[in-house]
Chain A
Amino acid sequence: MKVLTLNFLTCAVKSCKTSVDSFPLHPKDAELVSDDVELNPQLLVNLLPRIDWNALRTTATELGFPTLPEQPPTPEELQADEKMLQDLHKLLMETQISEGKLVCGACGHEYAVREGIANFLLPSHLV
């Protein structure tokens, strides 16, 4: 799964939905792979309002990527900033989590990722 996906996913446990600590999920023992994908600036601009920037900063740092600026770029700034486009493209669109775990910061539940597919099915006591 692309790292972008991580920005759209939170803990599936209902009681965690109200907790700020349940998002973003924290990668643990993550194996990263990279796909060669053509840069699409328009897509990245479209993504901006859908991305939780603070969560993305956390994810980038946790995966060992360069620290993102505190504030998200505006669409105009992003379009004019080739380096930022490249950085975001590499992080969001090319990098994939293939194996590892995604850990909820609130309840501690660990969601396994195998072959790039995270499993969010909950054990019966958590449903």
Chain B
Amino acid sequence: MDYLIRFSQSHETFRLPEIEALALLEGVDLKVISYSLDSPFCIVRLPSEDAARRLIRRSILTMSIHELWAHGPDLTAVHSAVKRDTGHLWPRYRTCSFKFSIDSYQGSRGSDAKVRIIESFSYLGFEGPIVMRGADEEFVLFEDWPFNASRLGIPEPNYFYFGRFLGGGARDLPKKLDLKKRRYISTTSMDAELALVTANLALAGPGKLVYDPFVGTGSFPIACAQFGALTFGSDIDGRSIRGDSKKRTLRANFEQYGLLAGLGGMFTADLTNSPVRRTALRYDGDGVTGRIFDAVVCDPPYGVREGLKVLGVRDPEKSLGVELRGKEMYKNPDFIPPKKPFSFLAMLDTILQFSAQTLVDNGRLSFWMPTANDEDQEIPVPTHPYLEIVSGLDDSSHTAASPTPKWTRRP
């Protein structure tokens, strides 16, 4: 069966990687049928209704998922597809209470027009009470309008989707973890929405161990702990962890959200002289022994002196996200260090080497990095023989100072 994902139209480049990560996390067999960065509508093939609900239940960038009954370039096409393909489903919803709504992306219609459209579906034969809140079933007609449609006087949307609501994403979590209401933050605290997306990309979850070597006030660990992970962190500046030693501390943030069980340990340390126990890089066989973390997640403090365009001028075009996957160690026994034209690349090397040494197989490294220097020279995504890139994300809508990459530890 095909399902319709209704994304939020924000952080577009992160949407599909987030869903793919969640499919992996939930063990859901996902096939993307149609998707575009320009549209919030994505058609996917999934094994079941239950799988659909599970797929998006902790998605930050998904608003909802729907059993897709029909889609087409105009209402006539939608109606004929509904009649052709879904007649066997109609009797199931004959007597339940229901709600029928229209979701117009980039467009709007007057209420008379809406009523006329809704009435055009009367052949479905739903006889149950119409309820605006808490209906047993909700049917939604989605309209994908062209940009600026009303100003340009465009009368009809480009495309329509019609389906039955199954479940919502976790759009409430960014509100829960909103920096504006957090007890203790700093100027570098990662925005709650992006931290949560990063936690999803890192596959943070119950029983998983996550480490942030540039922890600051704890934005990433908090987001990961929200999803049930046990988190660890360090910072070269212990004051960021300690705060005012009273109410404004990293620990107080965990307390505020009731996440203390997910606070493993925070310590002051320099990643280049890290006290974290590491193993020599070799193939272990069992995939875990000696290695500790399921994910390393961070937003490293790349120095302005490096002449990095992204950080200095907040050029959103230069933001990037990347994802690496742990790779089969025995296939690349020899590590050849890459050239180091910038010292910040040395920091990237340190992060990758550290991650390769401490991530369990298929563990993930997810971090933010700039993609160009002040001479507009592109900075390539770093590589490591024990890590495989999962995704490199160009997040042009991200207006904060940094970007993000993403790696997975190869087994």
- Contacts from A to B (Cβ < 8 Å): 1-2, 4-5, 7-14, 23, 35, 37-38, 40, 42-43, 45-47, 49-50, 52, 93, 111, 114-122, 127
Contact = CB atoms under 8 A, between A and B. Distances in A.
Contact of A119 (B268, B277, B288): B268
Given A4-B265, A37-B261, A119-B267, A52 B207 contact: no
Contact of A117 (B264, B267, B273, B289): B267
Contacts of A122: 270, 273
Interface string B231-245: 010101010011001
A37 to B, nearest CB: 5
A40 B376 CA distance: 50
A121 B264 contact: no
A1 to B, nearest CB: 3
Given A9-B267, A35-B261, A50-B360, 4 more contacts: A5-B267, A13-B273, A42-B207, A115-B245
A49 B207 contact: no
B275 A120 contact: yes
B291 to A, nearest CB: 7
9 contacts: A12-B270, A42-B206, A43-B206, A46-B207, A116-B251, A117-B242, A120-B267, A120-B269, A120-B274
A115 B251 CA distance: 10
Given A5-B232, A8-B277, A116-B251, A49 B288 contact: yes
B273 A119 contact: no
A93 B230 CA distance: 10
A117 B276 contact: no
B261 A38 contact: yes
Interface size class of B (residues with CB under 8 A): 35 or more
Nearest to A119: B268
Interface of B: 206-209, 230, 232, 234, 236, 238, 241-242, 245, 249, 251, 260-261, 263-270, 273-277, 286, 288-292, 360
A37 B261 CA distance: 6
B228 to A, nearest CB: 9
B276 A121 contact: no
Contact of A14 (B236, B273, B286): B273
A8 B232 contact: yes
Of A5, A8, A42, the most chain B CB neighbours within 10 A belong to A8
A106 B251 CA distance: 32
Contact of B267 (A38, A40, A42, A118): A118
A117 B232 contact: no
Nearest to A11: B275
Contacts of A8: 232, 265, 276-277, 292
Given A49-B286, A121-B236, A1 B266 contact: yes
A24 to B, nearest CB: 9
A42 B275 CA distance: 27
Contacts of A14: 273
A115 B241 CA distance: 10
A11 B230 CA distance: 23
A13 B270 CA distance: 11
B323 to A, nearest CB: 22
A23 B277 contact: yes
Given A117-B238, A118-B267, A12 B288 contact: no
A37 B289 CA distance: 26
A82 B158 CA distance: 61
Contacts of B267: 1, 5, 9, 117-120
A111 B268 CA distance: 10
Contact of B265 (A5, A121, A127): A5
Given A1-B267, A119-B268, A40 B206 contact: yes
B242 A121 contact: no
A107 B265 CA distance: 24
A38 B267 CA distance: 24
Contacts of B234: 120
B268 A120 contact: yes
Contacts of A115: 242, 245, 249
Contacts of A13: 273
Across the A-B interface, the 6 shortest Cβ-Cβ residue pairs: A5-B265, A1-B265, A120-B269, A12-B275, A49-B288, A119-B268
Contacts of B249: 115
Contacts of B291: 50
Contacts of B241: 117
